[in-house]
Amino acid sequence: MASDTDALQLSRGTIGPIRHIYVHIPFCARICPYCAFYKDLLDRSQTQRFCQAILDDLGRQRENFAISPETIFFGGGTPTALTTSQLEFLLEGFHQQLDLSSLEEWTIEANPGSVSARKAAVLHKLGVNRISLGVQSWDNKLLKVLGREHSAEQAEQSFHDLRAAGFFNINVDLMFGLPGQTIENWRSTLEKTIALQPDHVSAYCLTYEEDTEFFLRHARGEFRQDADADAVFFEITMSLLEDAGYEHYEISNYARPGFSSVHNRAYWMGKDYLGIGPSAFSTVGMQRWQNVCDYRAYSDRVISGRSPIGSTENLTNEMKRTERIALSLRTSDGVSASELKAFAQETNECIALGLLREANGNFVLTRKGKELADSVAEAFL
Ligand SMILES: C[S@@+](CC[C@H](N)C(=O)[O-])C[C@H]1O[C@@H](n2cnc3c(N)ncnc32)[C@H](O)[C@@H]1O
Ligand code: SF4
């Protein structure tokens, strides 16, 4: 385990410009009992120092790499948990430090509980052009089960505030397979979403992640997972969203034509990206590293001029290829035939089982294959 980017022996000379940046903002006003992302309860006494650390880290990365971003993604946690002036400070810092002339997409994850008309206007003014809004459900009872800090009415108001601020690319995050959720309930959540006409919808099947309260409740038998019901939820999602004109371009992602996420597509294609902030991963060339998963330690390290990297990993061509196959298999473009050359038997088996089909020289999942995407990917690992 190395401790510094310098030890990674990367140099501007050997690596092309970094085109994709992820920034992790870990604060949340309330911790949701199903969430396993690195996050911490919002502590306003820490946030300004944290924002300074992010900008210092970015400055340090500029010494290591040429950075000319096409996409920037502020995720979390909840980036909008920061105050409007802290977001302004951060975004202005990015403008000062980076050449943003090639920037195509700048996304910020937003929680309906922390979006205001003023905050939305400032984000828009500073160049953010895509918002990912964590709605999850339009049912207040289910929002309560999920421990969300907002109501369905607040989520709808946030959506309208974002549109009014000039955002023409809004993603709505939804979850299905929730405890107590019926098929009818999910259908009306989808219908309500479609009526609002977001440009993009991410629909995730609830995962009982280890180290979460939901995981314990599931282990105690309070919550049950029903694979058959999940398959029906997924089937309805595909049907309703496709009928409404959304392209199903990745297992959990649907977009109006021209609105697929450039940033996420870059990940799925195995492109290099730089991660800033606690817990953020970076992958550049044959190296992958992760920053420490503790925002206080991250800020202390960066502000005192030390590296925030917690661990590093050397990738092999084989590892990169396997990852590329697993990720691109989930997309509507599928995997190129040349990539699957070494897996002729597995490919033929999946075709015979009706899980894969050939399209334009690529192998793509069939509808049945999409329902079993994880198992299909495993066949190629
Ligand atoms: C990084 S999270 C956070 C966004 C923002 N903090 C929020 O909650 O509104 C991105 C999305 O992942 C999804 N997600 C989080 N935990 C999940 C889980 N255990 N299973 C399925 N989806 C999950 C939710 O839809 C969430 O909006
Ligand atoms: S789902 Fe979002 S708001 Fe909830 S704890 Fe996770 S990151 Fe925070």
The residues near 354 (Cβ < 8 Å, ≥ 6 apart) are 366, 368, 369
Nearest atom within ligand 1 for CA of residue 135: 9
> Domain for residue 205, yes or no?
yes
Which of 238, 268, 298 is the C-terminal boundary of a domain? 268
Residue 30 CA: which ligand is closest?
2
Structure tokens at 69: 């971003």
Give the confidence band of 343 by pLDDT, cuts at 50, 70, 90: confident
Residue listed under structure tokens 């430090």: 97
Distance CA 285, CA 271 (A): 9
**Average pLDDT estimate for 205-222:** 96
| Per-residue pLDDT tens over the stretch 233-243 | 999 999 999 99
Ligand 1 binding pocket (C-beta < 6 A) is 34-35, 37, 75-76, 78, 109, 111, 134, 136, 173, 175, 204, 206-207, 209
The reported pLDDT for the residue numbered 14 is 62
Put simply, whether the predicted model's pTM sits higher than 0.85 gets the answer: yes
Distance CA 98, CA 61 (A): 11
Nearest atom within ligand 1 for CA of residue 34: 19
Number of domains in the chain: 2
- Does pLDDT of 369 surpass 50? yes
Distance CA 262, CA 266 (A): 6
> Domain for residue 133, yes or no?
yes
- Does pLDDT of 2 surpass 50? no
Distance CA 193, CA 69 (A): 31
- Does pLDDT of 11 surpass 60? no
Distance CA 330, CA 4 (A): 33
- Binding site membership of 279 for ligand 2 (Cβ less than 6 Å): no
Distances (CA, A) of 19 to 16, 56, 68, 264: 9, 19, 5, 12
Residue listed under structure tokens 């999409």: 370
The reported pLDDT for the residue numbered 360 is 84
Domain assignment of residue 31, given as a range: 5-268
**Both 79 and 218 in a single domain?**
yes
**Both 137 and 43 in a single domain?**
yes
| Per-residue pLDDT tens over the stretch 279-296 | 999 999 999 999 999 999
